[in-house]
Structure 1
Amino acid sequence: MTNQRIKGIAVSRGIAIGRAMVLGREALQVKHYLVAPAQVEAELQRLQRGFTLALAELRRIQLRIEGDPASAELHALLDVHAMLLEDEALREGAEAVVRARRYNAEWALLHQLGELAREFDAMDDSYLRERKADLEQIVGWVVRCMRMPTDSPSGSTPPPGPLGQALSAMQPPQTAHADAGDGAASPPAQPFIVVAHDLGPADMLHFRLDAFAGFVADTGGQTSHTAIVARSMDIPAVVGTREASRRIHQDDMLIVYADVGLVIVNPDAQTLQAYRLLQEELAQVRQRQQSLLHTPSVTRDGQAIALLANVELPGDCTAALRSGAAGIGLFRSEFLFMGRHGALPDEQEQYTAYRDALLAMEGLPVTIRTVDIGADKALDGHAVARHRQEHSAMGLRAIRWSLSSPEMFRTQLRALLRAAEHGPLSILFPMLAQLSEIRLVLQLLEQARQQLRDAQVSFGPVRVGAMIEVPAAALMIEQFLEHFDFVSIGTNDLTQYTLAVDRADESVAHLFDATHPAVLRLIAQVIAAGRSCGKPVCLCGEMAGDPQLTDLLLGLGLQSFSMHPAQLLAVKERVLAADTAALQDWAQSVLQSREPQSLLAQHQSPLPAAPMPDATAPAATD
C-alpha cells in the first residue's frame, strides 16, 4: 500500500526521507516467582547491583557527551534519569516487596513501577505526567543490568537497548540529517529512520553519534524527553503515533514531515518528489532564518520585541543561548519536585539549580515559575484515585498547593532569593485567581526575606509576576497589576479553562482552540491593561512560538514572547518583517470577528512560505 499516512505529534521540525529501521517493542518480560526465605538477602543484593550498574552507565554516557553544547538536553535528560534511579521510592519500594512477599527482584521492581505509574497518571501537569515514560525506561535498564552474570565486573556495560542491538547487527550510514540547513553536504538518498515504540537515553545517544535522518515513536508528547532531545538536536521526529512500530515494516520507505507530525509510508514517485522539493525549500527557509541569529529583534517601525525561551531544566539554557534568546521567560521548577514522594528538595538543592540556570544565561534575565504541579496527593502517593475523580486541573495545584504548605513554599522562595545574587531574576507565581492569594503570596515572600536576614544569609533583588492563566485573573487584570511588576499569559491553561476543554483528554482535544474569540479577547485585555499602566506583559504559551500568530500578537501590542528555543528564529523573522502600527487595525478586526480563524487564514504574510505538497496533508498539531 502506497502513501499510507500515520498522524502523530509534531515535536521538532524538518523533513526526513529514508528507509525504516524498525525496532522491536521489547516489552519488559520478566519471570514471576517466589524466592525462599534464605534467598531474600541475595535477591536484595541483586536488585541493588542492578541500580548501581544502571547509574554507573548513565554517568559513563554523560562523560561521552561532556562539553558538547549540542547534547546539553541529553545530558539534562540523563540527570533526570539518574535522579529517578537515586530516588528511594523506587528502590526501597521494590525492596519492601521482596521482603514482604518474597517476589523475585524483577517482579518486585515491576510491581513498584506499577504503583508509581498510577501516581504519575494522576498528575494534571503534562510535563510531570510524561515522566512516567522516563521511569519505565530506567526500570527496563535496571532489569537488563540485573540479568548480567554475577561474575561481571561492576564497571561492565549492561546489555544494549533495542537500538544498540540493531546497530550491532547493521551499521547505518554516517550521514547528516536530511533537512540540515547549515550548508552540510546532501545526505545519501536513503538514510535510515528509526521507528520504535519508545526510545531511551542510550538510544538517543546514537542519534548524536550515528546521525540517523530522523525517528518515529509510538509514545511521547510535546514535553516528553524524547521530544525535548529531538528539538535540541534538530532531528526530524514524530512521536505519539501509537501504532507506527506495528504498521511500518522493516525497510519501508518513509517521509517524516516533523513540522506537522506526519509520517508517509511507501510514498509513490509523485509524492516523494513533492516532498524532496519541499525539503529543499524548508532547508532554504532555515538557512535564511539562521542568518538572523545576531540581528536585533526590532520591527520595521522600530518596536523592540523581547524574544525569550521556555526551558524545563538548567541544561536547557545552553540551547536558549544558541538560539539567540534574550533571556528565559519561563523556567519550570517542577523538575526538582517530581518523583520525590514526600522527600521534597531542600533549600540548598533548589538554590544550586536556580543559581546554575542564572550563571548559564551569562547575565541575561531569567524568570523562574514557582512549582506548578497537579496536586499534593499526586506527590506523596495517597488518595490518587480520589484525586483523579476530583479533576485536578481545578483542584489543589500550582499556587494553591504551595499556599497549602507555607513552609515548603518559603523554602522555595528563600532559594530563589539567594539565587538572585547571581543574575537578574524574576519570580513568577502560577494560577493566581484571588486577591487573597496575591496578598498571601507577597506576605510569604516577605517572610522568606526576613528569615534570610535573621539567619544573616545574603540574597538579591527580584521582580515578582503573576501567571494569567485563569479567566478570573484576566478579567481582574487591573487589580493584579497593582501588586506585580509584570504578568505572563499562559495561553495553554487560559484556553483550557476558558473553553472548559481538558487538552489532555483526546475525546475533547479537538475543541481546544487558542484563537477562539473569547480567548483572544482575554489576551487582548491583558496586553492592553499592561500597556496602559506601563508594566510588561509576556506571553509564554504555545501561541508565542507559532509564527502564524506573531502578526496578530504584535498588532495587539505584545512586546515580549517566550517559547521553545527551536521556535525563536522563525518568530524573529516575522517580527523583523512586521509593521506594528499597520497591524493594529487588522488585529482589532480579528478580535471583533465571530470567526477569527478565517481572517487569520486570509492574512498574507510578507515572507515566502514553503507550501504543502498537497491539500490532504494535515495541519500542525501544536
Structure 2
Amino acid sequence: MASFTLHGIPVSRGIAIGRAHLLAAAALEVKHYLVAEEHLEAEVQRLQQALVAVHKELQTLWLDLPKDAPTELGAFIDVHALILSDPMISEAPLDIIRTRHYNAEWALLTQIDELSAQFDEIEDPYLRERKADIQQVAERVLKVLMGSAQPLAAVGDGEYQAQMIVVAHDISPADMLQFRDRSFIGFVTDVGGQNSHTAIVARSLDIPAAVGMSQASTLVEQDDWIIIDGDAGVVIVNPSALVLEQYRERQNALQRARKKLNKLKKTPAVTKDGTPITLLANIELPDDCAAAMDAGANGVGLFRSEFLFMGRNSRIPSEDEQFEQYKRAVVAMKGRPVTIRTLDIGADKPLDQTEHTALNPALGLRAIRYCLAEPQLFLSQLRAILRASAFGKVRILIPMLAHAFEIDQSLAMIAQAKAELREEGVKFDETVEVGAMIEIPAAALALPMFVKRMDFLSIGTNDLIQYTLAIDRVDYEVAHLYNPLHPAVLQLIAMTIAAGNKAGIDVAVCGEMAGDVKLTRLLLGMGLREFSMHPAQLLSVKQEILNSDLARLASQTRKIMRSMEPDAIADAVQQLQLM
C-alpha cells in the first residue's frame, strides 16, 4: 500500500510504531423519527434507563481504575459523571421528547448540538475544548440507546496487541482507560488541540500522540502500519522499510535517553557555572501534585483554578469547596510553594448562560476584569486561597492585568479578605505574596507600575504571543502565525525578565515556552531563573539547564535580541542548542 504523511498538532513527545486500531465515531447513524403521543413516556423512560446505564459504566470505570493510573483520568471520569447529572443532559432532552415528539436519540443529539453551539462561542481554548466532554458523554448514552455499548473487541494478541495505536475522530478519557489496559501505545485523532483532554491525558501518560489530524480516521485503514512522531505532530501511514528502520533507531535512542533522564530526578537544577534554577510545575487539580513531586518540582508555579468551576451548570463552588481543594494541593506539596491563579474565566464562558456573549471574547470581560465585575465571587475565592495559606506556602497570581487601577483594586480585595478572616479568627499567612501575570503587551510595556506594587511576575507566553501578534491561537486558519520567536514577543519577554531582575523580584515563565527544551537556553540567556511547566517536561528542561553555561548564553542571546529577522533568530536559537 502507498505510504502517505499526515500533519497535525504535537501534544506529547516521543515516537510510537504500531498497527492502527480504528475506533468508529460513537454517534454513528442516528435514526430520526417522531413518536406517537401514547408512546412518549415509554420513549422518555428509554432515555432515562440509558442515562442510568452510563452512570453505572462510569462508576465501574472509576472503581476499576488501576492504582498506577494518572490522577487526571479519575478526575475526567468525575467530570463526565457531573455532565451526565446536569439537567441540560438529564432533563432537557426528556422535555424535547415530550414537546417535539422526537425519538430519544434525536432528542439527545438536538440538545447536544445546542450546547455545542454555545461552547463554540468560548474564547478560552481550554474551556472551549470541554465541548468534547459533553459530546463524549452523549456518545456513551447513544451507544446504550442503539444497543452498541459493548466493550472493545479483542484486537489480537502477541506482537499485534503490543503495538496498538488507536485512530479515531475523538477519544474520551474514559475510553482511553480501556486502551491503557490493552497495551495502547499511542493515539491519533482528527480533532483536538493543545488543551484538549486527550492532549492532557497523553502528556500525563507520557504517550506519543498527534491530534488535529483532520481526516486521519477516514484515510487510515484498520491494521495499517503507522508511525507517530509526537515531537513533530506527524503521522506516517504505511511507511517504507527504510523509514520504519530509521524511526525504530530514533525510538531506541529516545528510550535510552529517557532512562538517563530519570536519574536526574534528585539532581539540583544548577547550570555549569553554578547558578541554581527553580523548576516549578503547572497543575489543574490537587491530584496533579503527585506527578509534580515525583518529577522533583520545586513547587507549583501555576494552579489553574478554573477547573474547580467547570461542569457545574453555572453552580459556582462554595468558599469551603474551594478551600478544601487548595488545601489538598498545599499539603501535597509538603512545604514547597503553590502559586494559585485566580479565576481566568469570562462572560463568554458557560458559568451563566443568561449573560451576554462578547463580540470578541479574547478582548472582553475575562480573567481579572470578570472577577472585579463579580466582587463576591472574587472575594470568596481570595478567602479560600488565604485560608489554604495556613497549611503551607501559597502565592496568589492575578491574570490579565493591564491597568494600575486593576492592580490596586485586586490588592484592595485581598486586603478586605484578610480583614474579614482576621475578624473571624481564621488563620492565614499574613505575608502571602501576590503576583501578576504578564500576558498583555500593555503590561510588558508598563512594568514599573507592576514591580512597584507586586511581589513577583509570571509571564503567560501563550496569551502574550496571541495578543502581541493579534491572532486567535485556536483558529486553524491563522495558527501558522503563532510564533514564540517573533522579535516583538522576544523583546517583551526580555524586558519583563530584566525589569524583574532589576527590581529584585522573582520572574517566571509559565506558558508553553517554559517546557520547550528548544527554548530553554534562550530563556536562560535572557536572565530567566524560574520555569513553570507540565511535570512531564521538567526533567528534559533540567537536563538542558545542567548542560548550560550562562555567561556564553547571555553573550549569544544579546546578539539574538538585536536581530529583527525571523529566519536569523530561528537559526541562532538552534545554534544555542549546540553550545
Class of the TM-score when normalised by the shorter of the 2 chains: over 0.9
Please say which of residues 29-38 and 135-144 is displaced more in the overlay.
29-38
Q: 2:79 is matched with which residue?
A: 80
1:203-602 equivalent positions in 2, closer than 5 A: 203-376=175-348, 378-382=350-354, 386-387=357-358, 390-461=359-430, 462-595=432-565, 597-602=567-572
Residue 197 of structure 1: aligned partner: 169
Following TM superposition, by how much is the alpha carbon of 1:27 offset from its aligned partner in structure 2, in angstroms? 2.8
Deviations 1:122-149 (CA, angstroms, capped at 9, x unpaired) = 111111011111110011112334456x
Q: Counterpart of 1:529 in 2: which secondary structure?
A: helix
Query: 2 CA distance for matches of 1:413 and 1:66?
Result: 36
The 1:597–1:353 alpha-carbon spacing in structure 2 relative to 1, beyond 3 Å, is: farther
CA contact (8 A) 1:293 1:324 kept: yes
Contact kept, 8 Å, 2:330 with 2:391, in 1: the verdict is yes
Aligned counterparts of 1:216 and 1:377: Cα–Cα separation in 2: 28
Match of 1:108 in 2: 107
* CA 1:174–1:331: 2 relative to 1, 3 Å: farther
Cα distance in 1, alignment partners of residues 373 and 575 from structure 2: 48
Are 1:5 and 2:29 matched, yes or no?
no
Tell me how far 1:89 sits from its aligned partner: 3.0
1:122 aligns with 2:121: yes
Task: String of CA shifts for 1:479-521, please: whole Å, max 9, x gaps.
Answer: 1111111110001111111111111122222111111111111
Aligned mate of 1:159, from 149, 168, 184: 149
How much has 1:276 moved relative to structure 2?
A: 1.3
1:256 aligned counterpart, secondary structure: strand
CA contact (8 A) 2:193 2:211 kept: yes
Contact 1:122 1:378 in 2 (8 A): no
Q: 2:322, 2:42 → 1: CA distance? A: 37
Q: State the Cα distance separating 1:166 from its structure 2 match.
A: 3.1
Deviation at 1:72, TM superposition (A): 1.6
Measure the CA separation in 1 of the matches of 2:349 and 2:169: 30
For the Cα contact (< 8 Å) 1:488–1:537, is it kept in 2? yes
Q: Is the 8 A contact 1:309 1:325 kept in 2?
A: yes
Following superposition, the deviation at residue 459 of structure 1 comes to: 3.2
Distance 1:41 1:61 in 2: 30
CA distance in 2, matches of 1:500, 1:278: 38
Whether the 8 Å CA contact 1:175–1:213 is kept in 2: the answer is no
Instruction: Note if 1:95 corresponds to 2:94.
Output: yes
Conservation of the 8 A alpha-carbon contact between 1:76 and 1:316: no
How many equivalent pairs are there? 578
Cα drift, residue 192 of structure 1: 2.1
**CA distance in 1: counterparts of 2:550 and 2:578, whole angstroms:** 19
Rounded Cα–Cα distance in structure 2 between residues aligned with 1:251 and 1:445:
58
Aligned to 1:614: none
The Cα shift of 1:297 comes to 0.5
Task: Find the aligned partners of 2:377 and 2:3 in 1 and give their Cα distance.
Answer: 54
> 1: CA distance between counterparts of 2:312 and 2:492?
36
Show the 5 A alignment for 1:144-155. 144-146=143-145
Q: Deviations over 1:500-549 (max 9, x none)?
A: 11111222221111111111111111111111111000101111011111
- For the residue of structure 1 that corresponds to 2:58, the secondary structure is helix
Q: Given that residues 485 and 570 in structure 2 are in contact (C-alpha distance below 8 angstroms), is that contact kept between their aligned partners in structure 1?
A: no
Which stretch of the first structure deviates more once superposed, 107-116 or 473-482? 107-116
Hey, what's the Cα distance between the residues in 2 that align with 1:477 and 1:286? 40
Q: Report if aligned partners of 1:365, 1:423 keep a CA contact under 8 Å in 2.
A: yes
Amino acid across the alignment from 1:425: V
Normalised TM-score (structure 2)? 0.94
SS in structure 1 at match of 2:480: helix
AA aligned to 1:522 is L
- The verdict on how the C-alpha distance between 1:336 and 1:595 changes in structure 2, with shifts beyond 3 A counting, is same
In structure 2, how many angstroms separate the alpha carbons of the residues matched to 1:606 and 1:518?
20
2:156 aligns with 171
CA contact (8 A) 1:98 1:104 kept: yes
Distance 1:192 1:299 in 2: 40
1:101 shift after superposition = 3.0
1:108 deviation in Å? Answer: 2.4
Q: Look up the equivalent residue of 2:450 and give its one-letter code.
A: F
CA contact (8 A) 1:399 1:430 kept: yes
d(CA) in 1 for partners of 2:66, 2:393: 28
8 Å Cα contact 2:26-2:139 kept in structure 1: no
| Aligned 8 A contact 1:65 1:71 in 2 | no
Whole-Å separation in 2 of the counterparts to 1:549 and 1:539:
12
Identity within the alignment, %: 52
Q: Is the 8 A contact 2:264 2:539 kept in 1?
A: yes
In 2, Cα distance between equivalents of 1:76 and 1:294:
28
Letter in 1 for 2:54: A
| 1:333 CA drift (Å) | 1.1
Contact in 2 for aligned 1:16/1:236 (Cα 8 Å): yes
Task: Give how far 1:20 is off.
Answer: 1.4
Q: Using the TM superposition, give the Cα deviation of residue 243 of structure 1 relative to its aligned residue in structure 2, in angstroms.
A: 0.6
Give the match for residue 139 of structure 1: 138
Rounded to whole Å, the distance in 2 between the matches of 1:3 and 1:205 is 30
- TM norm structure 1: 0.88
Equivalent residue letter for 2:149: P
Which amino acid counterpart does residue 431 of structure 1 have in structure 2?
Answer: M
| Residue 376 to residue 192, structure 1, CA distance change in 2 (3 Å) | closer
Q: Structure 1 stretches of 5 or more lacking a match?
A: 149-157, 177-186, 610-622
Q: In the alignment, is the contact (CA less than 8 A) between 1:374 and 1:393 conserved in 2?
A: no
- The structure-2 alpha-carbon separation of the partners of 1:172 and 1:115, relative to structure 1 and needing over 3 Å to count, comes to farther
Partner Cα separation in structure 1 for residue 306 and residue 323 of structure 2? 14
2:231 is paired with a residue whose SS is helix
Report if the CA contact (8 A) 1:577-1:606 is conserved.
no
